[in-house]
Structure 1
Amino acid sequence: MIDGHRGNRQTVTMVGTSPAAQGGVAAVVRALTSSVLSNRYVIDYVETHAEGGTLLKLAIAVKAWVTLQFRLLTSVGGLVHVHIASRASFWRKCFLLLPALAMRKPVLLHLHGGEFKVFYERESSTLAKHVIRYVFEAAAGVIVLSTGWKQWVERSFPRSKVRVIYNPAPDVARSAYVREPATLLFLGKLGEKKGVNDLLRAVAMLVPEFGEIRLLLGGDGDVMGANQLARKLEIVEYVEFLGWVSGQRKQELLEQCAAFVLPSYNEGLPMGLLEAMAYGMPVVTTPVGGIPEAVTDGMEGFLVEPGDIDALADRLARLLRDEALRSEMGTAGARKVSSTFAMERIIPQWVALYSEHGIAPAGDPGKANG
């Protein structure tokens, strides 16, 4: 029987995609579950999704439902911390959470993904909107990644209880990296929504001036479409498709490339962006989602409107021409991460939130001690 305690640590049932999966949500899950948070609480993780075929995904979803219901019926106290995004991610979690909400168990919805507004406002039927609204307003709390998302959730679901907790950036031992002066890095899911096609067109505009330019695209998604566009633009020799990168290879890229580029149309608070800033890279990105809370235009990098290819090319050219500017913005970005997004800044906020819902950290049965 799971009694809500192990030793003097209390149990948090965390629900979400496999920590071994690709993408930003899995990166946040890995960051939280490998942090000091796991020393303060027992985190029982329930996987709802993993890479693989339809039968495997179905088996994982069924197992997750059975596991969570068992824990809900047998545990004393505790709470459920669920990572959700839009579309299939939401409906998988909804199927799991409705019994928990019906039993009045404390549920914290941790909202990821930059397209939830599109999913709710444009893609959901009237009935689906009622279900989504019920889940958000019945939850004990909704955690979002920026003040902009907080305002939207509060407008859309007025009875919800919303709090902003930023994604945590990795701890990085800064050093004097030797960077390749004309190499740009993109990390994420390749496709139009992340602005990859815009980025390829901007690079094509830069090739005449910067003959040594290289664009490294790290990620899965529409690789074939991006490759075809690069060929059409006659820049294939300047573009390298890396596939999904992680671990030591990812660290090397963050240490070696001149600038990070993410011209997305929708975002939450992208982990790749925070990682690049932590490594002292200047960034060129868009003012969507939580990005403006991490990047001030002209300080840690440049912000351009989604789809403005001319502006994207112009800001990249400014960085490629000016090593001192790249260094200055990179230093500002690392400083911003340290002051606002570092793990030591974020974890106490989770401890305080868990404590508010009756889950005290180890060594403090009465309250959170940060």
Structure 2
Amino acid sequence: MKKYKVVTVATSSRTRGGITSVINAYRQSTLWTDWNMVWIETHIDRSKIAKLWILIKGLFIFLYHLPSANLIHLHFSEPVSAVRKLLFVFLTKLFHKKLLVHFHAFSTNTTIHGRVSFVYKYIFRNADKIIVLSNYWREEIAHKWPYLTNKIMVIYNPCTQVKPMLIERQNAILFAGTVNQRKGYQDLIKAFAAVKDDHPNWKLVFAGNGEIEAAKQLAKTLQIDTNVEFLGWVSGSSKDMAFRQSSIFCLPSYAEGLPMAMLDAFSYGLPVITTPVGGIPDLLTDSQNALIYQPGDIRALSHCLTKCISDLAVRNSLAESSFKMSATTLNLTTITKELASIYQQMLA
């Protein structure tokens, strides 16, 4: 195969979040070396000055690599992320380079149906191909702008590769991600409070930053604070242990793209309780490979928690389904082959 050069434009490798996790997964595969990939960082979770500096620095590095690049693979999500990418899109087309845009947003209301929908229209119109994370997002964009339909392709986020290790699981229900209202942390605390007296040896574990103090106060108000643990944002070995030691994974979100935390749960073989939002229905069916309930239905979430806590056979069955998902549909090799195929089509 001819040696091509693909320039990836995205947030920093030191930034917390799904896009960073996805690109780091790609870096573990042969895709990275086969396509001579370069990661140009345009954002970081730090001060305003640091954010401005990394954007300016990224722009100059981009201009250095752009003449020799064959394809630009641009990752973006919510409005601020999209606006940051406008100049990169303009320069890519100015230099007549192929442009692949990879859309990671979680809400249609703030993006393609929001006040800055014209920004997304400009990016999508100038892209040669558009990657979305699910059929839900493909349908939403195609409905909004029908002339984009043939450009849109679905590529799922990949599961991370996890080394087998025998560690005794605790009676712990894991929530991983930003602790905010969109992720439904309040619903999980309230639902667990409703079942805690029947299962006093179980606990909730929150791995993530965000509204920690509000979550602690809610747990205290509901008198379950001794059964709720807050780890803060975890990565590396701390994240690994949080997943390995837990017995259930719960993501009670109101809006998602295709959450990497849920994919991590698949990789670690955790039974999943979640909601049918974003790209999740592409992969999960209630009682077949996960327990699914409607977002905001705290009584239904309590029922799911009880079912998973009380019935070991259910937990084991769902755990097996999670492993299967990570080894087949969402396997890193499978996903990167699909992405490499898109690269080949675009550069043929």
State the TM-score, normalized to the length of structure 2. Answer: 0.95
Contact 1:186 1:218 (C-alpha < 8 Å) held by counterparts: yes
Alignment-derived partner of residue 34 in structure 2: 40
SS of the counterpart of 1:109? Answer: strand
Amino acid of the residue matched to residue 104 of structure 2?
H
Contact 1:136 1:157 (C-alpha < 8 Å) held by counterparts: no
Contact 2:112 2:120 (C-alpha < 8 Å) held by counterparts: no
Alignment-derived partner of residue 363 in structure 1: none
Tell me, in whole angstroms, the C-alpha distance in 1 between the residues paired with 2:228 and 2:105. Answer: 27
Amino acid of the residue matched to residue 110 of structure 1?
H
Tell me, in whole angstroms, the C-alpha distance in 1 between the residues paired with 2:114 and 2:143. Answer: 18
Alignment-derived partner of residue 364 in structure 1: none
Identity of aligned residues (%): 33
Alignment-derived partner of residue 91 in structure 2: 99
Q: Summarize the Cα distance change of 1:157–1:70 in structure 2 as closer, same or farther, 3 Å threshold.
A: farther
Report deviation, 1:287: 0.3
Report deviation, 1:159: 2.5
Alignment-derived partner of residue 81 in structure 2: 89
Report deviation, 1:162: 0.4
1:162 matched to 2:152: yes
Alignment-derived partner of residue 68 in structure 1: 62
Tell me, in whole angstroms, the C-alpha distance in 2 between the residues paired with 1:121 and 1:340. Answer: 28
1:120 to 108, 111, 115: 111
Tell me, in whole angstroms, the C-alpha distance in 1 between the residues paired with 2:161 and 2:288. Answer: 21
SS of the counterpart of 2:318? Answer: helix
1:309 matched to 2:301: no
Contact 1:205 1:313 (C-alpha < 8 Å) held by counterparts: yes
Report deviation, 1:102: 4.1
Report deviation, 1:98: 2.0
SS of the counterpart of 1:307? Answer: coil
Contact 1:187 1:272 (C-alpha < 8 Å) held by counterparts: yes
Tell me, in whole angstroms, the C-alpha distance in 1 between the residues paired with 2:252 and 2:93. Answer: 38
Report deviation, 1:20: 2.0
Report deviation, 1:284: 0.3
Where do residues 1-370 of structure 1 align in structure 2 (5 Å cutoff)? 9-72=3-66, 74-75=67-68, 78-115=70-107, 117-120=108-111, 123-124=114-115, 128-160=116-148, 161-174=151-164, 178-180=168-170, 182-358=171-347
Contact 2:29 2:333 (C-alpha < 8 Å) held by counterparts: no
Tell me, in whole angstroms, the C-alpha distance in 1 between the residues paired with 2:96 and 2:144. Answer: 22
SS of the counterpart of 1:207? Answer: helix
Amino acid of the residue matched to residue 157 of structure 2?
N
Measured against aligned partners, the alpha-carbon deviations of 1:260-292 in whole angstroms (never above 9, x if no partner) come to 000001111111111111211101000011111
Report deviation, 1:90: 1.0
Greater shift, 91-100 or 199-208, is seen at 91-100
State the TM-score, normalized to the length of structure 1. Answer: 0.89
Contact 2:89 2:126 (C-alpha < 8 Å) held by counterparts: no
